[in-house]
Amino acid sequence: MKFVLCDCNNFYASCERVFRPDLRERPVVVLSNNDGCIIARSAEVKALGVKMGSPYFRERARLEDAGAKVFSSNYSLYGDMSRRVMGTLQTLIPDVEVYSIDEAFLLLDSAPLRGGTIGELCRSIRRRVLQWTGIPVSLGVGPTKTLAKAANRIAKKDLSRGGVFEMPEGDGTDPFLAGIEVGDVWGVGFRYASMLKRSGIRTALDLKGADDEWIRRRMTLCGLRTVWELRGTVCHPFKACPDPAKSIRSSRSFGEPVVSLHHLRESVASFVERACETLRSQRSTAGCISVFIATSFHRDEPRYANAASRRLAGGSDLTPALVTAAMECLEDIYVPGFQYVKAGVLLRELNSDRIRQAGLFGGAETDRGVRLMEAVDRINNELGRGIISVAASARWKTHVWDMKHNFRSSCYTTRWEDLAGVHVADGGASPCRN
């Protein structure tokens, strides 16, 4: 049994290029929500030395000099292209675990090989995804997810491998693991990476050879699993469906700084509403809600950040109850006079028991609430999100805190008015766009 990690190359930038062939040779970057940071870079931009996550305003001059094309993130487009990539994978491999918007683990047993090698199969997957969707992908193969992920890294970095790399058997992995920094191993976060480096563990190979007991003490069982996976023992099995979330977070950076409590209330209410939709869709209740607000940490202005929580007796999934609790939290932490740029809510202590504890104690009032939420969810599912919403979120208004996306491309695959245009005139007559 083998795992394959299929990862889309520079996914967001690649999505933009599918419909803009004029950008194939040009550097392309995609910015985060509110056009703040760089979250996707084409190969040309990486070659310029522009770092992932760096603020756009700091790189702007350099990008302009290089003739780069800048996009705001267009998640309607990326979500649809992701669905197409994952759907294409499924036509070749039955077991696809979608890990993120641009990554999937594939489970290979001998069946789909039909006599060919794993390498040949991976190359045909790569060809088909590129042909059908226009998105280039890289594939890494290994006996565990962690090794497949490491193999994928090599497939991406070493262009001579044609986007596919298979980890050798047994200790044949060692020379390759020696070339991977410990911080780039799947599951090793930034903090653990610096701790490991201080202790002389610098590469994936060092980590593979680390002492089990030492790792377990310093990095808990999770860290030990990573080590075992590097040695070829499966600790993260293939998952057909996701684990239910342990917490639900809904937050956003504002398009413009927000000063008034009134505006913060509207934004927080809309976050609660979104989080509650997710909560109910996975049939859970939340036992605790937290609200946080923060000023910018880039600007030279007074800084402030704070959070507050409320318990929800017996757990709840009712939007009105959670909005009320969230508003109380917000009153606790709001201090006038600051320029807030971010706020959010976090639902915790999720209980996915279908038996509603509140139902036992809440009586008719809760029962009515549950039925109201069911009706609201059904209407919003059928007629579009936000058709019915709590008045506190004032969804019908355009808000100062709405997201900025000044360079967003068309939603080529999800809106009729946004379809890509096709011309007929002979060469060179192409309309020049920017």
- The residues near 214 (Cβ < 8 Å, ≥ 6 apart) are none
Q: What is the 3-state secondary structure (H, E, C) of 97-157?
A: EEEECCEEEEEECCHHHCCCCHHHHHHHHHHHHHHHHCCCEEEEEECCHHHHHHHHHHHHH
Smallest gap from Cβ 28 to other proteins, in A, equals 13
Report if residue 434 touches other proteins, rule: CB under 8 A.
Answer: no
Report if residue 61 touches other proteins, rule: CB under 8 A.
Answer: no
Q: Which is nearer to other proteins, 20 or 208 (CB)?
A: 20
Report if residue 172 touches other proteins, rule: CB under 8 A.
Answer: no
Report if residue 411 touches other proteins, rule: CB under 8 A.
Answer: no
* Cα distance between residue 323 and residue 276, in whole Å: 10
Residue 344 near residue 292 (C-beta atoms within 8 A): yes
- Identity of the amino acid at 184: D
121 burial (CB, 10 Å; 0-12 / 13-18 / 19+) is buried
Report if residue 133 touches other proteins, rule: CB under 8 A.
Answer: yes
Site string for other proteins, 66-105 (x = CB under 8 A): -----------------xx--xx--x--------------
Report if residue 426 touches other proteins, rule: CB under 8 A.
Answer: yes
Which residue do the tokens 């990862």 mark?
Answer: 7
Smallest gap from Cβ 87 to other proteins, in A, equals 4
Smallest gap from Cβ 86 to other proteins, in A, equals 8
**184, two tokens:** 């780039």
Q: Which stretch binds other proteins (CB under 8 A): 162-170, 334-342, 393-401, 417-425?
A: 417-425
Smallest gap from Cβ 88 to other proteins, in A, equals 5
Q: Which is nearer to other proteins, 132 or 297 (CB)?
A: 132
Q: Smallest Cα–Cα separation from 122: which of 6, 9, 11?
A: 6
Q: Which stretch binds other proteins (CB under 8 A): 59-67, 110-118, 136-144, 425-433?
A: 425-433
CA 276, 281, 287, 291 torsion: positive or negative?
A: negative
* Binding residues for other proteins (CB under 8 A): 19, 21-22, 24, 83-84, 87-88, 91, 131-134, 412-413, 416, 419-428, 430-431
